Structure 1
Amino acid sequence: MNLEIPESVKVWSQFAHPIMMWVLLAATLYALYLGVQIRRTRSAEGEVKKELIKGRFNIRHHQIGAALLAFMVIGTLGGMAVTYINNGKLFVGPHLLVGLAMTGLIATSASLTPFMQKGNDWARYSHISLNIALVGLFAWQAVTGTQIVQKILERITG
């Protein structure tokens, strides 16, 4: 049985991964904002702390973080699948390797949650460090991903 994917699906599927990743980059920056607000809430006192608690930053941070983890894994696998479907191979280079590393970083960062909930500072600082590295790598991936999209567009229109 040979399932042939229509050419139009092959062409347009190449843009699902970059679009999803740009949305995830924005969501990552929002999760960072929420994490900073959690830190502010932790160190605040009195009325300021009461006001910050009303923002429920910790709950929103956990929800966004869980969604980021799921969609990062799906986006990584999807990007690899579409590349393979369209080219018959994966291009093993910095964009792929850093993307895989980012997937590992976000999974490791999320796995620290139970330890942070028990008050372990080492887990909290590790979580923050991993996520700072993740944001930096994500920004770099956005640049290299845009370059890849430009090559795809040149090939399509060329």
Structure 2
Amino acid sequence: MTLSKLLYWIYTFIHPVLMWTLFGICIYAMTLGLKVRTTRTTPDKDLRKSLIKQRFNIKHHQIGAILLSIMVLGSIGGMGVTYINNGKLFVGAHLLAGLGMTGLVAILASLTPLMQRGSQTARDVHLWLSVLILGLFGWEAITGMQIVQRIIEQG
């Protein structure tokens, strides 16, 4: 196998592995976010103190920053590899879902200052957009595996 062929396969499969990892990170971030919500809304003061000590809010912010960075870079990388390998982008469900998720995760991050000021509307929008992103991620995972299968079949 030539070096260029090896690099082709490495670049081609970095994106799917990265995106599946990111899907798991999204689920973890949402779990942390729900724990932050529980911490903020629980009427039990002892439980709240116990939850605050676990620093879910800081973990959620850190994971969210990583998520935003990887999603943007992963989207650019996936489109870049596709263009390098094919000389064009294929406009379809996979590309549109990926671009949609990238835009939505930027909106999620932009809601942070409003949520820090106590806006319940911003918190609710953040939660529902997160659910939408997970749905799009599921769709992207299915279409992405179809693409990987076609690449493997073409050899």
TM-score by length of 2: 0.95
**In 2, Cα distance between the equivalents of 1:16 and 1:86?**
14
From 13, 21, 24, the equivalent of 1:23 is 21
The reply to whether residue 96 of structure 1 matches residue 95 of structure 2 is yes
Residue aligning to 2:116: 117
5+ residue gaps, structure 2, are none
Residue aligning to 2:36: 38
Shift of 1:7: 2.6
The reply to whether residue 48 of structure 1 matches residue 15 of structure 2 is no
Residue aligning to 2:59: 60
**In 2, Cα distance between the equivalents of 1:123 and 1:37?**
17
5+ residue gaps, structure 1, are none
Asked whether the equivalents of residues 23 and 137 of structure 2 are also in contact (C-alpha less than 8 Å), the reply is yes
| Alignment: residue pair count | 152
Shift of 1:135: 0.7
Asked whether the equivalents of residues 10 and 85 of structure 1 are also in contact (C-alpha less than 8 Å), the reply is no
Residue aligning to 2:154: 155
**In 1, Cα distance between the equivalents of 2:66 and 2:10?**
25
**In 1, Cα distance between the equivalents of 2:116 and 2:67?**
19
Residue aligning to 1:146: 145
Q: Deviations for 1:18-59, whole angstroms, at most 9, x for unmatched residues? A: 000000000000001001101111122221111111110000
**In 2, Cα distance between the equivalents of 1:12 and 1:75?**
14
Runs of at least 4 residues off by over 2 Å: none
Q: Deviations for 1:53-104, whole angstroms, at most 9, x for unmatched residues? A: 1110000000000110010000000000000111111111111011101100
Shift of 1:105: 0.3
Among all aligned residue pairs of Structure 1 and Structure 2, give the percentage whose two residues are the same amino acid: 54
Cα RMSD after superposing both structures: 1.0
Residue aligning to 2:6: 8
Question: What letter matches 2:103 in structure 1?
Answer: G
